[in-house]
Structure 1
């Protein structure tokens, strides 16, 4: 026996909103419509999914049992306030945002009109609006908010093929900060390393082609052995002379400072792994902390 799924509305036709709308549509959820800041962006996604588009949530969202606000974080509060001014929320409606950092309370205008509020954040990187719903399969979603919302969000995550966990709003900055370290700062490190490879003549494209298999191999090591046992490299081996050579090769203090900070953190992992002892760690720490000028 097929149970009819609740009707869902999407406010925000950006990267997250687009892939979420595709995912919900693919899993049998009826969409009440797509709302975005411009009719062009709303219409593009709406045409693909065969639903209506608008720039006003009140035009399409009154019959939505579940409403996702998938705008950038800085816009969520104002979008919720604008919908409330247009009487776009209704009693008993479930309203979620998809921010990994903001609390559910940013949706207070919806709550004041009788809606239940919460957050469903996909722990995934979306680089463009063209990702298919498969991008959501197998990922984790962080849920927060009122109990009624979390119960419904768990069902949605299950339908999308994901795994959900609960998080307190007070812990969201830690949660999202850690996610940014893994996702955003990996990009920063690849950009840094690619720039350094340019010092000996590789183009940015050649550097990326050379470094990607290394990154993929590192991720495979982590998958197979875990974070600690997946560590390799000179610090893991206790090769202080190599670390010293790296620091001496870096030409500006910003690069040296970043290398030192990462090196000090890596020392802790190497000690935990057990591939170096305290004496080796102290020797490498002395090298890492030195300014390397005139040495």
Structure 2
């Protein structure tokens, strides 16, 4: 029989992974505990398996536990679980990208094998994620025994596993912020700068689009050192100095951003030699 998986927290992430694990046969879904009976019923319907639990005391034993709760609740929920259920030898994992498996210290003290598994996807539409999970990278760290249990399950649902250092989990999560959130901020600054030069917003997006998309394609095809172009790559620091002054005069905050990015880009250009 497949190992029994109990799920605590069945929002978008918990229900998508629950459905995938159930469909793969890697886990048999047991109890599902959420904030209300109604949300538990909805989650079970989505997952297609499991039964609702009215509280920690009703969860019953399991071979594995998935804590798909908000980041700031992981340690508290884990402590409650450790006080309510036998965990010796069981797998306990959470799905946070920002927090490490050290948040599961209470479970580890109770004899559980602990880990974190962070699927690098947007879960705004769990139905879509569950239908297209193949190829999704999952950042995984934790106890070797936990990873030995968790990795095959992730591979079975189409995931790809990237093992990460638990001590660098916050830096790992910041990498996603750089690659996504801050990229948006940089593009926004570019669009506003175009508009400051008299270009309408819609036209500014069209001017920026080929530069941004072609540059990203080059980064992932050739690597950042080779993809880098522009005045710093050419060693034209006089142009950089003029741009720094002009941008700062236009928008002081944008000027600070330009200055910080220029310094980082000089370092990147130095790696080309």
Matched, 1:83 2:81: yes
8 Å CA contact retained: 2:61, 2:85: no
8 Å CA contact retained: 1:62, 1:90: no
8 Å CA contact retained: 2:247, 2:255: no
In structure 2, the residue matched to 1:258 is 257
Distance 2:232 2:192 in 1: 22
In structure 2, the residue matched to 1:282 is none
Question: Any stretches of 5+ residues in structure 1 without a counterpart?
Answer: 275-295
In structure 1, the residue matched to 2:138 is 141
Alignment TM-score, normalising by the size of structure 2: 0.82
Distance 1:19 1:213, change over 3 A: farther
Distance 1:17 1:74, change over 3 A: same
Matched, 1:24 2:21: yes
Distance 1:253 1:127, change over 3 A: farther
Alignment TM-score, normalising by the size of structure 1: 0.76
**1:195 to partner: Cα distance:** 4.0
8 Å CA contact retained: 1:14, 1:129: no
8 Å CA contact retained: 1:125, 1:183: no
What is the Cα-based RMSD across aligned positions, in Å?
A: 2.9
8 Å CA contact retained: 1:15, 1:126: no
SS state at 2:118 partner: strand
Match of residue 95, structure 1, among 92, 98, 111: 92
Aligned pairs for 1:148-227 within 5 A: 148-199=145-196, 200=198, 202-203=200-201, 211-227=208-224
8 Å CA contact retained: 2:117, 2:141: yes
Matched, 1:128 2:128: no
SS state at 1:179 partner: helix
Distance 1:44 1:125, change over 3 A: same
